[in-house]
Amino acid sequence: MFCYGKYAAIIGDIIDSKKLEDRRAIQLKFKNVLSGINEKYSEDIASKFRITFGDSFQGLLKNKNNIMRIITDIEIGMAPVKLRFGIGIGDINTDINFEDSEEIDGPAYNRAREVIEKIKKLESQYAQRVSSIMICSEDRNSEIDELLNSILSVCTALKSKWTSRQEEIIYAYLANKENQYKAADVLNIGQSSVNKALKASRFYTYKSAIDTVNSFLSKERGS
């Protein structure tokens, strides 16, 4: 029987940050996005999300009910800037400071760092299977982690095919509680255009896969 630890550490960074033109404006945007996450998901958070370096961030969750929604909200808030995310699940060995995650450490953070580095390595090797999000938990869960990471890799592949316009429409749709009419109003287009973009981008396949991962991680599982 597999078992996931109590905490989920999320570490992320901006892809190709050195190539971005207005890095000061992007860092301010980054800070505002994370502030919004801390407010919206305060009941899920053990230690607030914060920028650790200019292009990196981390945070700690005490429950995993909204883990993929948090990542999606960060992606929406930072678009069109792209990010990679490492999710480490396990215990924490230090005291937990709600206001500052930098002094917190333990297996959850170690695993998040490990998969962030793995993503970077796969990107540099032009590997056949690359994902912008990866999960790592205990060794005994390795087969389950591999299954979840395969799903996330498919999600990355689907997203890589989205046009910039499709992405804009999809993110507006998600930001407006998956209401096509509200997304259409925000973008000043017809509802049919939203519907067409969602279907052409295979959004519903993507969303089903992301929701499956979130549902699986949110369930408490015994040893």
Q: 46 pLDDT band (50/70/90 cuts)? A: very high
- Asked if residue 223 has pLDDT above 60, the reply is no
1 pLDDT above the threshold of 70: no
Mean pLDDT taken over the chain:
91
Confidence of residue 39 (pLDDT cuts 50, 70, 90): very high
Q: What is the pLDDT of residues 77-106, one digit of tens each?
A: 999 999 999 999 999 999 998 988 888 889
pLDDT value at 30 more than 60: yes
In this prediction, residues 198-222 reach a mean pLDDT of: 90
The residue-averaged pLDDT of 147-170 equals: 96
Question: Helix or strand or coil: residue 219?
Answer: coil
CATH 3.40.50.620 fits domain 7-149:
no
More confident call, 128 vs 120: 120
